[in-house]
C-alpha cells in the first residue's frame, strides 16, 4: 500500500513536471509566433483599436490653410508611395494666453513612406529671414525678422509662406502643437527615455526657472517639455534635443501598447494640435508605417552666426548650410531618388 502511494506521488510529480514543461514550451511558441507575426498583429491592433475612432478624432484637429473645415474627397492611398513634406511647428503658447504665441520649434520633415524614412531639417527660431506677408512699414517690402515671429504675426499661413521662401521648397502640409500638448501626450504614454547625463537647469532670471535631473531612465511630460525648450547652451543644441525627443517619442508610440493609445493621445491634444493633413490620409499612413520596418530618422540643422541689429540678437544662416539643406530636401522629395542615390546628412544629429 505504502509502495503504491509512493509510486503514485512520483507519477504525480512527473505529471506536474510535464505540465510545467509543456506550459513553458507553449509560452515560447506564443512569444516566437508573436515576434514572427508582429507586423500583422500590429496591423490587426490598429484596425481593432485605432481605426474605428481615429478618423473622427482627427477631424477635431483638421484645419486647412486659409480657414474653413470642410473635408475634401479622400486622397488615394497610392499617394503614400510618393514623398511628401510637412512643416512641423511647436508653439510656445501657454493655456492661459490669448495670443497664438511663437513657433519655438520649426522643422521641415521630408517623408518617404515607401522606404519608411524621414528627414528632419531644423531651422533655429532666431534665424534672420524675410517674413513673407509682414509689412509693418507699409512700404511694399516684407520685413526681416526672426523666423519664430512669423507664427506670432500670421499663424501657420505666414510661417508656411516664410519657410517656403527661405528653403525654396513648397511644403505639402503643416502640423502645429503647443507645448502643453507635448506634456500631456508624454504623460499618457508613461514618459520617454532621454539621454540626459547631467542636470539641466534654467538659470537666466528672464527665463522660466526649472531643473531636470540627469541619469533617470524615464522622464515625464513636464521634464520632456523643459528638455525641448531649454536653450541656455545654444540654439543648435536646442534643435538637436528636439530631434532626439521626436525620435524617442516615436519609438514609444510605435510599440503595441503605444499603438492602442493613439486615439487617446489625439483626444488629449485636442485643440493643442492642428494640421491640414486629411484624417483619412493620416489613418492610411499610420497603418502603412506600422506594417513596415521601424522608420529611420535622419536630421540636419541649418547653423548660423550671431548677428545684432539695433540691439536685437538674430542668427544669420550659414549660406553653405542653407544650400546644403535645400539640396537634401530636393533629393528626398524626388520620387525618382532610389535608396542608392538618397543623400544622407553629412553630420548626424540624433544619437
Which pLDDT does position 345 carry in this prediction? 92
Which pLDDT does position 185 carry in this prediction? 83
Span 161-178, pLDDT tens digits = 999 999 999 999 998 877
3-state secondary structure 156-171: HHHHHHHHHHHHCCCC
**Rounded-to-integer distance, Cα 40 and Cα 26, Å:** 20
Which pLDDT does position 78 carry in this prediction? 42
Query: Buried b vs exposed e over 175-199: b needs ≥16 C-beta within 10 Å?
Result: bbbbbbbbbbbbebbebbebebeee
Structure letter (DSSP) for residue 192: B
Tell which wins on pLDDT, 317 or 39: 317
Mean pLDDT of 321-341: 95
Mean pLDDT of 274-285: 77
Which pLDDT does position 58 carry in this prediction? 67
**For 45-49, 126-130, 342-346, which range has the lowest pLDDT when averaged over its residues?**
45-49
Give yes or no for residue 187 having a pLDDT over 70: yes
**For 22-36, 62-76, 83-97, which range has the lowest pLDDT when averaged over its residues?**
22-36
pLDDT class of 297 with cuts at 50, 70, 90 = confident
**Rounded-to-integer distance, Cα 347 and Cα 122, Å:** 13
Out of 9-13, 69-73, 231-235, 295-299, give the one with best mean pLDDT.
295-299
Give yes or no for residue 204 having a pLDDT over 60: yes
Which pLDDT does position 79 carry in this prediction? 45
Out of 31-35, 112-116, 236-240, 338-342, give the one with best mean pLDDT.
338-342
**Strand runs labelled E in 73-223:** 84-91, 103-112, 117-122, 128-130, 144-146, 173-178, 200-202, 210-212
Which pLDDT does position 194 carry in this prediction? 95
Sign of torsion over alpha carbons 133, 154, 137, 124: negative
Which pLDDT does position 108 carry in this prediction? 93
Span 316-329, pLDDT tens digits = 999 999 999 999 99
Q: Pick the closest to residue 166 from 273, 236, 87 (CA basis).
A: 87
Which pLDDT does position 50 carry in this prediction? 54
Q: Which three cell numbers stand for residue 218?
A: 524615464
Contacts of 309 by beta carbon, 8 Å cutoff, 6+ apart: 128
**Rounded-to-integer distance, Cα 276 and Cα 86, Å:** 10
Tell which wins on pLDDT, 290 or 17: 290
User: 3-state class of 136 per DSSP?
Assistant: coil
Burial classification of residue 147, based on how many CB atoms lie within 10 Å of its CB (0-12 exposed, 13-18 middle, 19 or more buried): buried
Provide, rounded to the nearest whole percent, the portion of the chain with pLDDT above 90. 29
**For 44-48, 104-108, 239-243, which range has the lowest pLDDT when averaged over its residues?**
44-48
Q: Which three cell numbers stand for residue 129?
A: 529671414
Which pLDDT does position 235 carry in this prediction? 72
Beta bridge partners of 86: 109, 173
Q: Which three cell numbers stand for residue 99?
A: 495670443
Span 140-163, pLDDT tens digits = 888 999 999 999 899 889 999 999
Which pLDDT does position 182 carry in this prediction? 78
Tell which wins on pLDDT, 47 or 308: 308
Which pLDDT does position 254 carry in this prediction? 67
Q: Which three cell numbers stand for residue 316?
A: 544669420
Q: What is the mean pLDDT of the chain?
A: 77
Amino acid at each position: 500500500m505504502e509502495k503504491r502511494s509512493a509510486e503514485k506521488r512520483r507519477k504525480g510529480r512527473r505529471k506536474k513536471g510535464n505540465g510545467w514543461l509543456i506550459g513553458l514550451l507553449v509560452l515560447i511558441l506564443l512569444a516566437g509566433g508573436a515576434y514572427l507575426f508582429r507586423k500583422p498583429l500590429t496591423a490587426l491592433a490598429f484596425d481593432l483599436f485605432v481605426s474605428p475612432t481615429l478618423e473622427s478624432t482627427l477631424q477635431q484637429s483638421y484645419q486647412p490653410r486659409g480657414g474653413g473645415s470642410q473635408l475634401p474627397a479622400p486622397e488615394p492611398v497610392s499617394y503614400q508611395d510618393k514623398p511628401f513634406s510637412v512643416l512641423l511647428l511647436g508653439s510656445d503658447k501657454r493655456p492661459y494666453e490669448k495670443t497664438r504665441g511663437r513657433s519655438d520649434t520649426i522643422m521641415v520633415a521630408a517623408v518617404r513612406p515607401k522606404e519608411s524614412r524621414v528627414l528632419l531639417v531644423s531651422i533655429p527660431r532666431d534665424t534672420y529671414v524675410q517674413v513673407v506677408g509682414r509689412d509693418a512699414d507699409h512700404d511694399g517690402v516684407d520685413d526681416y525678422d526672426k523666423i519664430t515671429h512669423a507664427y506670432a504675426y500670421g499663424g501657420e499661413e505666414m510661417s508656411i509662406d516664410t519657410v517656403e521662401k527661405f528653403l525654396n521648397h513648397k511644403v505639402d502640409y503643416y502640423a502645429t502643437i503647443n507645448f502643453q500638448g507635448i506634456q500631456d501626450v508624454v504623460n499618457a504614454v508613461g514618459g520617454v527615455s532621454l539621454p540626459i547625463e547631467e542636470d539641466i537647469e534654467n538659470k537666466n532670471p528672464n527665463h522660466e526657472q526649472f531643473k531636470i535631473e540627469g541619469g533617470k531612465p524615464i522622464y515625464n511630460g513636464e521634464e520632456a517639455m523643459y528638455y525641448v525648450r531649454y536653450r541656455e547652451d545654444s540654439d543648435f543644441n536646442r534643435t538637436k534635443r528636439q530631434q532626439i525627443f521626436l525620435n524617442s517619442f516615436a519609438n514609444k508610440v510605435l510599440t503595441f501598447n503605444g499603438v492602442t493609445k493613439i486615439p487617446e493621445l489625439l483626444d488629449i491634444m485636442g485643440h493643442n494640435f492642428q494640421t491640414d493633413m486629411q484624417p483619412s490620409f493620416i489613418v492610411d499612413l499610420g497603418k502603412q508605417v506600422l506594417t513596415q520596418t521601424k522608420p529611420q530618422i535622419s536630421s540636419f540643422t541649418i547653423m548660423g552666426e550671431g548677428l545684432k541689429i539695433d540691439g536685437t540678437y538674430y542668427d544669420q544662416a550659414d549660406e553653405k548650410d542653407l544650400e546644403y539643406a535645400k539640396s537634401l530636401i530636393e533629393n528626398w522629395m524626388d520620387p525618382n531618388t532610389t535608396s542608392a542615390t538618397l543623400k544622407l546628412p553629412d553630420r548626424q544629429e540624433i544619437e
